[in-house]
Structures are given as C-alpha cells and as structure tokens.
Structure 1
Amino acid sequence: MLRRLKTDKTIISDLPEKMEMKVWCTLTPEQATLYQAVVEDMMARIEGSEGIERHGNVLATMTKLKQVCNHPAHLLKDGSRLPGRSGKLARLEELAEEIVAEGDKALVFTQYAEFGALLQPYLAAHLDRPVLWLHGGLPKSRRDALVERFQNDDEPMLFLLSLKAAGTGLNLTAANHVIHVDRWWNPAVENQATDRAFRIGQTRNVQVRKFICVGTLEERIDEMIERKTALAERVVGAGEDWIAELSTDRLRELFRLGSEAVQ
C-alpha cells in the first residue's frame, strides 16, 4: 500500500512548501531547580511502585516535567507572574514579535488548556495585538466566530489553540507560521495540527517550529523518535504510553537534567 502525501507534487502541484525546524530553548535557574526537584521526588515514587501505579507515576512525571519546561507557573498553578521565568516563553515572545512585525499570522499549539489560558492575556498585552484562544470549553458558535475572525481580519495576530480541541477539522490558512510550544510526541497528532494551516487553499510557504528544551526529557524523547523509524511508527497510534514501559534505569536517564539545560 502506498501512502500519498500532500507534499507529493504529483498529487497536488500548487501547494506551497512546509519548512519544519526545531527551536532550542534553555531553562531559567528557577526552572532547573524545579525540574530537578520533580525528578528526585517522582523517581522515588516510580521505584517504589509497580503495575498500573507505576504506569501512572511515569505519566505524571512526564506531565510535571513538561509543565516545568513550559513555565514554573504552569506547574505551580499559583497565579504568579510570567515574564522572565521561562526560556520557552522568552523565545515565544521573540518569535511572536517578529511574526506580527512582518504582518503575518501564526497558530500556536499547546496540549495544555491551562497553559493556554495563562498565555493568552499575557501575549495579547505584550504584543498589543489580538491573541485568539480556542479550547475545548468553547461552544461551537464561539469557535466558529474565532475562526472567521482569524481567517478574514487583515490585522496580524496569533491564534492560540488547544491541541486536542483544534488538532483536526479547522481551516486556518490565514496563518503561515505554526508553533508547537510543547510536544505531544506523536507525529500524527502534531502533523494533523500543522495541517490546519498547511492545506488546500494555503498560498504561502508555512514555517513550522517545534520548541524543545535542551538537556531535558524533551530533547531525549525527540532524539529517540528521530533515531528510530520503527519507534516513530509505533507512537503514531500510542500517544505517550510507550514511555511508561521503559525500565527504571532508562527512565532515570530520560528524565535527568543535563548541564546544558541552563544558560
């Protein structure tokens, strides 16, 4: 069986190019301290558990570490200030400024609705531009109105989207930038989200950026998927559960904080 891709010019000759790139981010000292504390606490729990409990502890560890990589306030859920505390947020601010200065629009995906809710008002104030926010809690009429505005309003803006709520079905070809702030580690899910912009009707090249914190589990899992084609095929349908099956020693290596993680 042959898999026909949109990038195959024999199928669709007029679709523009898709340029994918990784954006390497470093942790702030605060993030690094939190990251190490989570690793030490959760590895002790993983070592002391088995079966379903161990599986749950591994997935909980991954969630906590990804939240730390996003922003300390995402993990702590304490309503604390956002600026100056996250390498990812600093890079997102820079990119967003460049995109709107060029007169362009961008889709910004996060798998965490709670993180999107933190980002939306902050980025809107920082950029002094519209930052729309689509998540699973919105009624269809509101979702449709947001899509309509993004597609037809000429003003440069960001569209912040929950990956689960907006990963399929939407036509958002007004964007020529796609940013994945945190990774789902499932190529099919990420590609479906990117395809909100890279689809029939898109007339410009699309730049896709995937944020990765160096020296953390984000970099190591990305390496694993890149290195092993068979693994990449396996995780297409498995989400992140496959990571929970790794040995404790392998998990310790996967989760550890590298010296290169902090500026």
Structure 2
Amino acid sequence: MPPRISDAERRLISAYIEAANRVDQALRTIGKSPRKALLRAKINPIIQQLQSLTNEYLAKDLPEQFRRGSQEAVKQLKKHSEFKGDIDESFTQAHKNALQQIADDASLSFGRGLQELVKSADRAFSEARKQQIVTEILTSEVTGETANVKKILLDQGVTGIRTANRTLSVDHYTAMLTHTILAEAHNMGAATRYLQNGLGFARRIERADAPDYPCQWLRNKIVWLGEPRFVGPVHPNCFGAIQPYFGDTTEALVSLDDPRIPEKVKTALRRK
C-alpha cells in the first residue's frame, strides 16, 4: 500500500504556511524607513517556533511513518504463502540506522527551507530598498509614499523559497518536501522489514497514470532492496510503493549502473 498523509504532516504543512504569512505580515507592518535588524527581530521568533515544530515532527511523527511502513510489510508477508516461517517483527540496529539516516536528511531539507524563508524576507527587503533608491533618483525628490519601502513591501511581500532551478510558494515547497519525506520513511520502513526477514527483492508499485517518465518506467520493475534509491520516492510528491517479490530475480535491477536503465531514470534516482 502506498504511504498516506497523516494529520501530523497536515499540521506541519499548515504551520509552515502560517509562518510564511506571519513573516509576510512582519514585512508589511514595519515603518517607512525600516532597518534590516528590526525586521530580523520580528522574524527570528517565528523561525525559531517553526524549527521547534519541525524538530518535534522529526522526533515523533517521522518514526511513526517508518513504523507504518514496517507494519505494512508484515501484513504483506502474512498474505503470501511463499513466505515460510515466523516473521521477525523486532526493531534492530538496522532499523535505527535507516530511520536515523532519513531523519538526518529530512532535518537538512527542512533546515534549507527555513533558511530560504529568512532569505526570502531579506531579498524582499533589499529589493524594496533598491526600488526606493531608484525612485528617488528618477524623481529627484523623496515623495513620501512613492518612494516608501513599506509601500513597496506591501506590494510584493515574500516571494517564496528558491530551489536549485525555480522559486516555489511556501505552501507548495513544504507540501512537496513533507510528502517526499513521509514516503521515504514509509518505504524504507517496509524495505528494512523485508530485508530483516530474508527477502531481498520487491516489485516497484506506481500508479498507472504516474505523471513522469521515471515512475512510468519503474512501474512493476523488480528491484533489489539493498539499493535505497530503488525503494524511496523518485521525485517530490512521489507516492510509489514496494511489494514483496518471491519469483525469479535474474532480471531484477540491482544497481544504478545497469545499462537497461534509461539515463533519464538514472538521473532522477541519483538526485535522491
């Protein structure tokens, strides 16, 4: 079964959206001749509160998604008569290591988002300052509202969070990041449970209407669970999943160096 969004993820996404609105409001309520230090004094408590909520999610709710993936794997094993013997449901060091790696990666990703939120406010402030100077030069006088930093900020607000190749709204970025992380935790929880029980391969499950080529190509492929990049989400907002596989594995994918894998698919997997 694909990973599912829980109330915890919805709360975190809502918190980021609310924080962005509060940062935007902070920009809109500063004086006519503001200083960046005053702006930061307004923004920093918002960011600190958001960091606290993020840390709470990573410590409490992310492990829950990992556990759900593990439980789903147990259910799948019980359904298959090909699996013989008792199912080991214990949490070992391998589970702890896998979860810690996901939490570390998630912490870095959320940290970049928080930094970008602050930078976005700084960029808005700096751009307003530049526009004020240009307006004053062009009009040769300070005309109050015309060259007012506050008015410029009221018009533009916080632009968004910059990624490697585009700028996203805060709600889009946070939803995308949260969905990706929960899918990673869920699928790795399942994969670690399968490996613990001696099952090394799984079938990659993707929607028939998957929107991009890498997901379409990976659909129903048999993959080795020892390669984490075959297990987790292929792209942001990806909800692909894995199912245990007990058949012939001679044609299974075990390495990203496999020449059968198209370059576009390899590129998508290596970004993870």
In terms of fraction of residues, the more helix-rich structure is 2
Q: TM-score, normalised by structure 1?
A: 0.29
Q: TM-score, normalised by structure 2?
A: 0.28
